[in-house]
Structure 1
Amino acid sequence: MKMILRIVRSFLLIHGLLPFYCFLTMFMGISQAYLFLVCTISRLH
């Protein structure tokens, strides 16, 4: 019984963190693309 509770708790924790991780990776990707764009523009000028 205790083992099932532990699995459920970890499962809920993972599902609670998934949207946060998705947002974080998306944010990092956007910021990296922005930095790349800024570097390219500064190189062109």
Structure 2
Amino acid sequence: MSPFEALYGRGCRSPIGWFEAGDVKSLGADLVKDAQDNVRKI
């Protein structure tokens, strides 16, 4: 598993296609907290 996949739960995509159609996530405190928790686990 790549570090990117461990942090974000999916494989890395090109900058052009970050999200699937209709798969919009809010980018905020929850995303940062989840990433920090995953880094601690790694």
TM range (shorter): 0.3 to 0.5
Larger radius of gyration: 1
Instruction: Give the alignment's TM-score, normalised by structure 1.
Output: 0.33
Larger helix proportion of the pair: 1
